[in-house]
């Protein structure tokens, strides 16, 4: 889908790759941190202090990694402090682009494509142009395009601004949270992509086995637990939900993750609906955008671009009992 090469867009270059028959996701390269006082974070440069209105978040509704950041922003009550611009759901030869006629506008700079934002916010950047990406309006620089780190910044650095003071990565649970994240990401979050983009039966079998091994384990955990770590909602749940939100309408059919549907897991299905009912979450979920986006024309996966009508999913269906 193209790359920036020394700050110039190359529509023919490729990013994520398939090594032999297996899908490999490239790593995020922009890894600065926003901190409470602007001091350096675990990686990158300092100078990025948490301030209301200073940072602008670029997202796309259909991207699960961007969805993480939208969820944390909503759950922390940061919507008035961190404005967003939403890219059009389908990429073009120019990569992620805006579509003003259909309401997808860069409300910060009026850019036509995300690669223009990257080129303006970095020096001679070479690499993939991805969402989410966090832009610092004070310095004119990109802060980060690593979703896992952006959500941790939102939780920690912006605590004084947050409408919801809940800590979703408390120090005493951080080890358990990181263990869940390290398990769920390769087997499930990225496992659905390893399955959907596999180019051999062996690679597909490996991917789909991991996906359902993870779902089965989480289903078992939820027999006695409201959330992944008991009665407390954490970052691990926030990183899990975007995959569950897309599972039945997209991954089940488009990526052939079809041993079972989410709705076939009683505990997971109740868990997903419980999460969906949290304040601000429903506004981030766009089922028809997922359905159409993942079934868009693809020479390998969907040459005719046929979008299935089902399955029908209703996350607003009532859940018995009340979550803590």
- What is the Cα–Cα distance from 39 to 31, expressed in whole angstroms? 14
DSSP labels, 80-112? TTS-EEEE-SS-BTTBSB-BGGGTB--TTT--S
Q: What is the structure's pLDDT at 324? A: 33
Q: Which sign, positive or negative, has the C-alpha torsion 63, 65, 69, 72? A: positive
- What is the Cα–Cα distance from 201 to 206, expressed in whole angstroms? 9
Question: Per residue of the chain (324 residues), what is the pLDDT tens digit?
Answer: 689 999 999 998 876 655 568 777 778 899 999 999 999 999 999 999 999 999 999 999 999 999 999 999 999 999 999 999 999 998 999 999 999 999 999 999 999 999 999 999 998 999 999 999 999 999 999 999 999 999 999 999 999 999 999 999 999 999 999 999 999 999 999 999 999 999 999 999 999 999 999 999 999 999 999 999 999 999 999 999 999 999 999 999 999 999 999 999 999 999 999 999 999 999 999 999 999 999 998 888 888 899 999 999 999 998 865 443
Given 118, 193, 290, 294, the catalytic residue: 193
Active site residue 193: yes
Neighbouring C-beta atoms of residue 261, cutoff 10 Å: 18
Instruction: Take residue 38 and report the two structure tokens written for it.
Output: 């602007």
Residues 224-265: pLDDT tens digits?
999 999 999 999 999 999 999 999 999 999 999 999 999 999
Given 63, 265, 290, 294, the catalytic residue: 63
- What is the Cα–Cα distance from 229 to 181, expressed in whole angstroms? 12
Q: Helix-strand-coil percent breakdown of the chain, rounded to 5?
A: 40, 15, 50
Q: H or E element: which one contains 181?
A: helix 174-184
For residue 121, give every residue at least 6 positions away whose Cβ sits within 8 Å of its Cβ, in sequence order, or none: 135, 136, 140, 141, 142
Active site residue 257: no
Q: What is the structure's pLDDT at 85? A: 98
Which domains does the chain possess? 3-156 (3.40.30.10), 171-294 (1.20.1050.10)
E strands in the chain: 3-5, 8-10, 17-19, 22-24, 55-60, 84-87, 133-136, 141-144
């Amino acid at each position: 889908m193209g790359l920036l090469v020394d700050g110039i867009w190359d529509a023919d270059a490729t990013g994520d790759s398939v090594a032999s028959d297996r899908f490999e996701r490239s790593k995020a390269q922009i890894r600065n941190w926003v901190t409470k006082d602007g001091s350096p974070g675990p990686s990158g440069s300092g100078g990025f202090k948490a301030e209301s209105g200073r940072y602008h978040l670029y997202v796309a509704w259909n991207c699960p990694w961007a969805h993480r950041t939208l969820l944390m922003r909503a759950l922390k009550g940061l919507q008035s402090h961190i404005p967003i611009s939403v890219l059009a759901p389908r990429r073009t030869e120019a990569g992620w682009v805006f579509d003003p006629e259909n309401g997808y506008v860069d409300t910060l700079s009026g850019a036509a494509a995300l690669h223009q934002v990257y080129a303006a916010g970095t020096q001679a950047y070479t690499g993939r142009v991805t969402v989410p990406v966090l832009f610092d309006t004070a310095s004119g620089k990109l802060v980060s395009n690593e979703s896992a780190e952006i959500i941790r910044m939102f939780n920690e650095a912006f605590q004084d601004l947050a409408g919801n003071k809940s800590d979703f990565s408390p120090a005493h649970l951080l080890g358990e949270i990181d263990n869940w994240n390290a398990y769920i990401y390769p087997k499930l979050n990225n496992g659905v992509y390893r399955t959907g983009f596999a180019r051999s039966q062996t690679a597909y079998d490996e991917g789909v086995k991991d996906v359902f091994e993870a779902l089965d384990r989480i289903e078992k955990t939820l027999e006695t637990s409201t959330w992944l770590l008991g009665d407390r909602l954490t970052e691990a749940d926030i990183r899990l939900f975007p995959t569950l939100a897309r599972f039945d309408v997209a991954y089940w059919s488009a990526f052939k993750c079809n041993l079972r549907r989410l709705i076939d897991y009683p505990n997971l299905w109740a868990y997903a609906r419980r999460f969906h009912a949290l304040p601000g979450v429903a506004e981030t979920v766009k089922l028809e955008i997922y359905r159409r986006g993942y079934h868009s024309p693809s020479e390998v996966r969907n040459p005719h671009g046929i979008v299935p009508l089902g399955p029908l999913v209703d996350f607003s269906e009532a859940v018995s009992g009340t979550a803590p």
